[in-house]
Amino acid sequence: MKKIAAILLAASMLAAGLGSCADGSTSQSTGGSGNSAQTEYNNPVYEPVFADPCIIEHEGKYYAYATEDYGEWKPSDDPLEYVSNKQIVPILESDDLVHWYFKNAAFTALKKPSWGTMGANVWAPDVVKIGNSFVMYYALSVWGDPDPGIGVATAPEPWGPWTDQGKLFSSNEIGVNNSIDPAVFQARDGHYYMIWGSFRGLYGVRLTDDGLALEGGLEAAKANKKLVAGLDTSTPFNLATYEAPYIVYKDGYYYMFVSSGSCCEGLNSTYHVRVGRSTDPLGPYYDDQGRDMCGENRGAVVLQASADFVGVGHNAVIQDDAGNWYIVYHGFDTDKPGTYGNSNRRSLLIDKLEWDGDFPQTKDKIAGKSGMPLPVIK
């Protein structure tokens, strides 16, 4: 759940975040040496903070987007700039998936979406190219928000400039508690679908073909939404269920990755990734034991804590130029403090996915630390 640990202490702050070295120097990619002879990389690939990542490829470059965070690691040390020009939804660029550099931010404080609860932050962006536009779906919420919601923004290029198109729905309007963590994908039928939610049920609806509205309007979507994982939204908040969905299609199935456990308790975080699959974009999704994902503790385990990284989750998935699958996610490095300034120290990691029969997992179902072969980029 896109929850910044100290947000209750600073609910009035408009917060922006981007990665930097732990020693306070400027933002840093940590994937390796960056020389042309490099054949391996190490995790994390960007630190200290890049939470809830999504990733896209465009014209030979990769772009990653993350949740808004506090701004202790801004490139400028000018306190006036910190106050007047906070960066919200940091955007990174890479040529090879492991060396990442800060490009810009989607929003400034003056242009930040403001239709939600006072002091709400922009969480969990998901970016999809639809037609000639890049469309960003985002959650607007604060910790404990009684009515968070999901909005949409558009841009002509993956780095912007981003124009907020406003709210798609709030939790109360759509009838799904804790409506955050949007995931949008194009199904084989050509239509776009959204699955979203956080520990109060994951639900799915169809979008219009431009991705900017709910098919049939809000009332139709509210009536026709479908529970695809977890428990009905009327049940209490439950960390044994799921949030942060991400969907890919492979060999006749839609694979829905989800995160379970606590995201934001520093080195005590229990976050991990599970997966189910379906032949239909809105389910039912089943795990490796044939269980419907509509329940607790379901899903084949993809990625979990190790001695090196804990709190691993909220992932995206992408392929390299050789067709290898990679999972991109955040996690806490156990060699570092669990916090950085006022934020959970959730750094950016990437690992190759292995398909064990019908379901994917990372090697040994944990995060790799060092010596992993570079993705194939032609």
- Separation of alpha carbons 68 and 147, rounded Å: 19
Query: Which residue(s) pair with 41 in the sheet?
Result: 372
Measured between alpha carbons, how far apart are the two ends of the chain, in Å? 35
Range in 58-62, 107-111, 195-199, 306-310 with the lowest mean pLDDT:
107-111
Q: Label residue 340 by pLDDT band (50, 70, 90).
A: confident
Instruction: Work out the percent of the chain whose per-residue pLDDT is above 90.
Output: 82
Phi and psi of 79, rounded to 5°?
-65, -30
Q: Mean pLDDT across the chain, nearest whole number?
A: 90
- The whole-number average pLDDT for the span 341-347 is 89
- The whole-number average pLDDT for the span 237-258 is 99
Phi-psi category of residue 79: left, alpha or beta, with phi > 0 → left and psi -120 to 50 → alpha: alpha
Q: Give the pLDDT of residue 20.
A: 30
- Separation of alpha carbons 355 and 361, rounded Å: 6
- Separation of alpha carbons 348 and 51, rounded Å: 7
What are the residue boundaries of the structural domains of the chain, listed by start?
7-373
pLDDT tens digits for range 153-200 = 999 999 999 999 999 999 999 999 999 999 999 999 999 999 999 999
Query: Which residue(s) pair with 137 in the sheet?
Result: 126, 152
Is the pLDDT score of 106 beyond 80? yes
Q: Label residue 36 by pLDDT band (50, 70, 90).
A: low
Where is pLDDT greater, at 341 or 288?
288
Q: Give the pLDDT of residue 35.
A: 57
Q: Give the pLDDT of residue 19.
A: 34
If we measure between CA atoms, which residue out of 313, 302, 240, 305 comes closest to residue 277? 302
Q: Give the pLDDT of residue 6.
A: 33
Model pTM score: 0.90
User: What's the CATH code, domain 7-373?
Assistant: 2.115.10.20
Q: Label residue 37 by pLDDT band (50, 70, 90).
A: confident
What lies within 8 Å, CB to CB, of 61 at 6+ separation is 93, 94, 95
Q: Give the pLDDT of residue 122.
A: 97
Is the pLDDT score of 25 beyond 80? no
Sheet with strand 243-250: strands edge to edge = 243-250, 253-260, 272-278, 300-303
Q: Give the pLDDT of residue 24.
A: 29
pLDDT tens digits for range 264-319 = 999 999 999 999 999 999 999 999 999 999 999 999 999 999 999 999 999 999 99
Q: Give the pLDDT of residue 17.
A: 35
Range in 5-19, 85-99, 192-206, 299-313 with the lowest mean pLDDT:
5-19
Q: Residue written as tokens 């919420």? A: 141
Where is pLDDT greater, at 282 or 69?
282
Q: Label residue 28 by pLDDT band (50, 70, 90).
A: low
Where is pLDDT greater, at 74 or 21?
74
